[in-house]
Structure 1
């Protein structure tokens, strides 16, 4: 899953939305050559149930990548130690969200 997500986001920064990436990395679609109508059908089926967002992806959780969403929901991938990441991190006008934890904290 993470390798598919990374390949998409690294090869075409700003081209894909969260829904595009989640569907392409799903077991039903990953690695298949599917036409547009069938892909739309699979997308409707896949998203008919609640799905975790990319904050739960291994990219930000395990590998430390930052995900930036533009106003249209298109995603760019940024290495945590990159100047671009630092610039985005220090931009107070952006909403900043952390990756989701793997488990709940003990109470």
Structure 2
């Protein structure tokens, strides 16, 4: 099976899960922490959905990230393979209100 090149618009959870050393993470501006995602949970329901169109949210502070990093673990250091600008398919006024409220809670707005 030939592997297609990863592009921000097309990479899916199925692509990532095939490589055990590849991780998904985002930097949460509210918590100021790097949050690693469980690709198996994403792939359980949305295996073939491009990651760029999904809406992620920090479980600690509630902020929605704007980018997702696909990286590879190399012993102690990590290597970023791809940065995906997130463009959720579903984003309405309630999501904007949630984002604004989360920004206020963490003191960023």
* Same-fold call, TM cutoff 0.5: no
- TM-score normalized with structure 1 length: 0.24
Q: Hey, which of these two has a bigger chunk of strand by percent?
A: 2
